[in-house]
Amino acid sequence: MRRYPKPGDIALVVALLVPLVVALPRLGWPGAEGAGAWLGWIGRTTGILGLAMLLLAAAVSIRLPGMDRWFGGLARLWHLHHWLGFGAFILVMIHALALGLAAVSLSLEVAVVTLFPPLSHAAVWFGWLAWLAMVIFLAPTFDFFGRPHYQRWKRLHLVSAAALVLGLGHALLLAGETALWWLLGLAGLAAIAWRKLVSPRVARHAYRIETVTPLARGVVELVLAPEGKGIEHEAGQFVYLTPLDETLTAGHGEEHPYTIASAPGDARLRIGIKDLGDASHALLGVTPGTRVLVEGPYGEFYGRRFPERDRLWLGGGIGITPFVGGAREIAERGLAGGRVHLVYLANGPDRAYYLDELEAIGARVEGFTVTPHFYRELGPLTEAFLREHCSDFTEREIYLCGPPAMNAFLKRLLADQGIPASRLHSEVFDFL
């Protein structure tokens, strides 16, 4: 079984290649003209591709509920956004280097003037300023600088709008064909304007926190009731939650992604929250009755992948929440398709927050089985444990969600059993 490209992937590749294809007749083919001509050609093509990538990276950051599914969910779309931005940066570096080296083949003086002409050559200086803006907003993403503070990094990302405008100025002054650049530029800038200015005002739904139920140390479940028309979701999807409680010690007015743990069709949203940082810690003490804004839903953890097949769900820590939503759906609507076996990975019974409810659903619904695995008693999950409790696990569609280290461990364990990556579906609660 193969993973097929999503419709959004194909649209992205087309949008990326069109500016290059349109420009190719103007760029010509260096053929046997020598190294200098080739370097000039490489410099120009990488410039075109690099700018197209930068503008598309901005365009795909638009975040519209439903649109992320064209790309396989928002987490995957963020990875595409990340790689487009990174690819743009590398291509822009090659662009400048290749054009400089092409000019060196004439003379060093020509090379210096090509790269650093008098200030009146606005096009080139727009290019350098765009590059500088890219360095500023991309630098914190490189591991070299350590892990960036998420909210500071997001604010710094606004500099990308300057890179877009300057890069566009560079292209419009130099390129023969401007209509496409206008189109891509507008798509990128419109996406940023939507995210920062329009969406916070029109795309968020008001909810009120009804209850805050402690589930374990550092873990609560919030129940949110819609004030007006709420959202409709599928199991395993997530929302961006913005608390408006001004008495919170952190995270007031900040949006954070959380999985919806309630069954689809339930107008109230249930959200399990674990203390993983300052904003989530503050939410543990949020006052019932206060308001939050909810944007979404996003993601397609379960997607529409072969519901008729038997499934194995492996959930650990707070990564159990998409499976809680899935189990609550099964409790209300019964099993739609194959059997489901949930292995709940927790350090011990005290950390298996939802186990009682999940086991009660397992006792009621035939074909839905729940097996806890406690790390403190049994150590890491093994193939033998899986085979003992779910003998046909290698034949099933497998869904994983947990901390990054757990996901990586499970993927290795399952790959060692010869399970192809195409049958593993995973979500990591981390976008960077």
Summarize as ranges the residues that interact with ligand FAD (CB under 6 A). 75, 150, 238, 251, 255-259, 272-274, 276-280, 318, 321, 427, 429-432
As measured in angstroms, the least distance from the Cβ of 390 to ligand FAD is 24
As measured in angstroms, the least distance from the Cβ of 259 to ligand FAD is 3
**C-beta closer to ligand FAD: residue 160 or 321:** 321
As measured in angstroms, the least distance from the Cβ of 372 to ligand FAD is 19
> 248 phi and psi, to 5 degrees?
-65, 145
As measured in angstroms, the least distance from the Cβ of 261 to ligand FAD is 7
- Report which residue type is found at 73: G
238-243 and 256-259 strand pairing = antiparallel
As measured in angstroms, the least distance from the Cβ of 222 to ligand FAD is 10
As measured in angstroms, the least distance from the Cβ of 321 to ligand FAD is 4
**C-beta closer to ligand FAD: residue 79 or 339:** 79
As measured in angstroms, the least distance from the Cβ of 334 to ligand FAD is 25
Q: How far apart are the C-alpha atoms of 150 and 4, rounded to whole Å?
A: 32
As measured in angstroms, the least distance from the Cβ of 275 to ligand FAD is 7
DSSP state of 194: I
Q: How far apart are the C-alpha atoms of 432 and 430, rounded to whole Å?
A: 6
Q: How far apart are the C-alpha atoms of 219 and 262, rounded to whole Å?
A: 16
Tokens found for residue 13: 């590749």
State which H helix or E strand residue 421 sits in: none
- Look at residues 68, 57, 63, 61 and name the one whose alpha carbon lies nearest to residue 92: 57
Q: Is 264:234 a contact under the CB 8 Å cutoff?
A: yes
3-class DSSP assignment, residue 382: coil
Place of tokens 């019964």: 334
What strand order describes the sheet that includes 205-216? 256-259, 238-243, 291-298, 205-216, 219-226, 269-274
- Report which residue type is found at 213: T
As measured in angstroms, the least distance from the Cβ of 113 to ligand FAD is 44
Bridge partners, residue 206, by sequence:
293
Tokens found for residue 250: 């952190």
**C-beta closer to ligand FAD: residue 138 or 279:** 279
Residue number of the CB atom closest to ligand FAD: 277
Q: Is 225:210 a contact under the CB 8 Å cutoff?
A: yes
**C-beta closer to ligand FAD: residue 388 or 430:** 430
- Look at residues 318, 315, 218, 219 and name the one whose alpha carbon lies nearest to residue 327: 315
Helix%, strand%, coil% for the chain, nearest 5: 55, 15, 30
**C-beta closer to ligand FAD: residue 102 or 231:** 231
Q: How far apart are the C-alpha atoms of 113 and 40, rounded to whole Å?
A: 15
As measured in angstroms, the least distance from the Cβ of 6 to ligand FAD is 18
**C-beta closer to ligand FAD: residue 321 or 369:** 321
Q: Is 65:296 a contact under the CB 8 Å cutoff?
A: yes
Q: Is 175:188 a contact under the CB 8 Å cutoff?
A: no
**C-beta closer to ligand FAD: residue 70 or 150:** 150
**C-beta closer to ligand FAD: residue 230 or 277:** 277
Q: Is 162:138 a contact under the CB 8 Å cutoff?
A: no
Sequence-ordered list of residues with C-beta below 8 angstroms from that of 84, at least 6 positions apart, any chain: 12, 53, 54, 56, 57, 60
As measured in angstroms, the least distance from the Cβ of 405 to ligand FAD is 12
**C-beta closer to ligand FAD: residue 399 or 429:** 429
